Amino acid sequence: MTVQNVLRPLLARRRSNPRRLRALLRGDGGMSTVEYALGTLTAAAVAGILYAAVQSDVIKNAVTALLERGFSGTF
């Protein structure tokens, strides 16, 4: 899609709508790249938080106790 193809119908009218023209020319070509970048950044942040939580002594002790309880057969 070229600029001429976008502008041709708008310029053919006697009065074109400037808001519509701006909306057509602006587009959102870079939106998907930004969304992927933010999604990747968020996933990395969540992974970092989970890693820090799993490395804490409280979580290690809780998981160890849960596994020992599970393997011992008492519920």
Biggest CA-to-CA distance, the chain: 83
pLDDT at res. 42: 94
Residues with Cβ within 8 Å of residue 75, at least 6 apart in sequence: 69
**DSSP string for 20-49:** HHHHHHH--TTHHHHHHHHHHHHHHHHHHH
Q: In angstroms, rounded to a whole number, what is the distance separating the alpha carbons of residues 32 and 34?
A: 5
pTM beyond 0.75: the answer is: no
Q: Is 27 left (phi over 0), alpha (psi -120 to 50) or beta?
A: left
Q: pLDDT tens, position by position, for the chain (75 residues)?
A: 676 676 666 666 656 677 777 776 776 666 678 888 999 999 999 999 999 988 899 988 998 999 998 888 765
